[in-house]
Structure 1
Amino acid sequence: MRRLLLVVNPVAGGGRAREIADSVRRVLTEEGYDVEMTFTTSAEHATTLLAECYPGQRVAVLAGDGVLARALQGAYQSGAVVAPLGGGRGNDLVRALGVNLDPLQAARELAGATEHSIDLGRCNGRIFFGVATVGIASLANQVANETKFLRGTAVYVWGVLRALISYSPQRFTIEVDGKKHAQKAWNISVGNATSIGGGMQICPNAKLDDGVFDLNIIDDAPRRLVVPILTKIFDGKHITMKEVTEQRGETITIANTEPLAIMADGEFLDSLPATFTVERQAVRVLV
């Protein structure tokens, strides 16, 4: 029987991960795994648990984006192989990896999963896996994290609407692989993966294994045009609008006169100024 460590964040999804943990374990057992289940006590604990694994050890992680990203950091250190199971509100990393959003169904499909290697991003040396944002999207993320009465994409839409009231375009200095320019923008996204906010395709062409970032910029535009742009992010069609520009690069530097917050994987990552770099094929996953 194949051994599998199941790491669960009990507070993910407003406690839903804890509620379904035993069912997930039962499904995995039915699929032929000898399952050891453990619960995280903090995001840092997830990193520690995975860092203590042996190289090649298979670990299923039932959590939201923040704790899943921390678990992947630990796997980066140890060489463990991570099977992500969506237990949070947004589950954007699970989406990017093509894993079934229903954690019970994903557990049923795990036996047929194959191993792949994915890139990680660094922001001033700090690791992230999804999309790093600065601007209105990062403010919306902060509002969403403070909102408990909504789930999934709805909570992020609420965050965007709240952010629109107070946020104004900022002037940034942006350098992509040595080419520098300055511009005002509503938002800048550095995508190692595709989506934020429970499936909003802000960097729709980004790939977790291509060794480059997708840089998406929502240019300075009248406030009345921002809502139509943001609504098109749901399916990635905002990139067809003239107010949105895209570039690709391995090293990206962003600066502003203020230390604006950078959000990634659903959490605060760092503040500007920031340099983003890619590390290719850094972590092994089962998808």
Structure 2
Amino acid sequence: MRQFTAVVNPTAGGATGAAALLRVARLLREAGAGLETEYSRSLDHARELARQAGERGRVVLAVGGDGIAGGIGGALSGTGALLGLVPAGRGNDFARALGLPTDPDGLARVLLHGEPRAVDTVEVTSAVHDRTVVLGSVYAGVDALANRHANRSRLLRGTASYTAGALRAVTAWRPTRYRVTVDGREHAYTGYTVVAANSGYYGSARRIAPGAEVDDGLLDVVMIHDAPRRLFFALMRELDTGAHVHRPQVRVVRGEEIRIEADREVPYGADGEVEAVLPVTARVLPGALRVLG
């Protein structure tokens, strides 16, 4: 029977995370599994707790949203340790990409009896930010600003917080000249954003890269070119279905290593947590993480 260590961020998700873990924990223990719980003081502390649990041969449960899932998944990348997710955050997009059940019974069955699968992770490096490894995506431009606004929202959660954040970001945005290098080939354009996606989802179920797969050894690079704000808002609505990729203002290419640069100071983020400014390089690490899902 599997032995689990749950790592919980008490400040992200708050009571939601604790409640989600309690429902699943009861089912795990009733099935005879061992479960211990660790509360992190920060994302770095969560990574440390995860590494320690993984070294002891325990299945590490990331309890929370995409930030803690990406942080812990990145910490376990390349170690051979096994990751499980208990989604309890604002977006839960990597859990969605894995197709995890949303009900406690279904999730407990996956954690207890699911076969481990190897998924890709993403190494993120820049001149002003330490190397880190994440799970979902690296995004630069207007969506990085939108995510920052969403994370600071006290009144809204889930899709509503991202929508409000995007509206605020787009209103103040001015077009940026990007230089995106994918496996040595340069793509230069003026526009809103660029996303290097391992998972097809970001921003709470928005299908930014509908063709992305978490285990294909590639990143889907979505480049959104300049367009009137009216058209951009229409494009935002199409993110719910992924129809935006058929717009002439959107280009998608695939590659293993992506370098993103801009002609001015432009923010980038990754998995909702990393906040810095361009340039940044994202490199896929094929099959680097074992996960239940």
- Given the two structures, how large is their TM-score scaled by the length of structure 1? 0.94
1:142 aligns to 2:143 (yes or no): no
Residue 32 of structure 1 deviates from its aligned partner by 2.6
Whole-Å Cα distance in 1 between the matches of residues 80 and 17 of structure 2?
A: 25
Amino acid at match of 1:80: A
Determine the structure 1 residue equivalent to 2:226.
220
Amino acid at match of 1:159: G
Whole-Å Cα distance in 2 between the matches of residues 269 and 283 of structure 1?
A: 23
Q: What aligned pairs does 1:145-224 form with structure 2 within 5 A after superposition?
A: 145-224=151-230
Whole-Å Cα distance in 2 between the matches of residues 281 and 27 of structure 1?
A: 30
Whole-Å Cα distance in 2 between the matches of residues 10 and 100 of structure 1?
A: 23
Q: What aligned pairs does 1:1-287 form with structure 2 within 5 A after superposition?
A: 1-52=1-52, 53-54=54-55, 56-76=57-77, 78-103=79-104, 105-124=106-125, 125-287=131-293
Whole-Å Cα distance in 2 between the matches of residues 229 and 2 of structure 1?
A: 45
Secondary structure of 1:253's counterpart equals strand
Residue 56 of structure 1 deviates from its aligned partner by 4.6
Residue-pair matches, total: 287
Whole-Å Cα distance in 2 between the matches of residues 136 and 103 of structure 1?
A: 35
Residues 171-206 of structure 1 show CA distances to partners (whole Å, capped at 9, x for unaligned) of 111211111132101111110111111100001111
Residue 10 of structure 1 deviates from its aligned partner by 2.2
**1:93–1:130 Cα contact (<8 Å) kept:** yes
**1:123–1:270 Cα contact (<8 Å) kept:** no
The runs of 5 or more residues in structure 2 that have no matched partner are 126-130
Residues 242-280 of structure 1 show CA distances to partners (whole Å, capped at 9, x for unaligned) of 111110011111111223111111123432112221111
Amino acid at match of 2:146: A
Whole-Å Cα distance in 1 between the matches of residues 104 and 174 of structure 2?
A: 39
Residue 66 of structure 1 deviates from its aligned partner by 0.7
Amino acid at match of 2:77: Y
Secondary structure of 1:12's counterpart equals coil
- Identity across aligned pairs (percent)? 35
Secondary structure of 2:86's counterpart equals strand
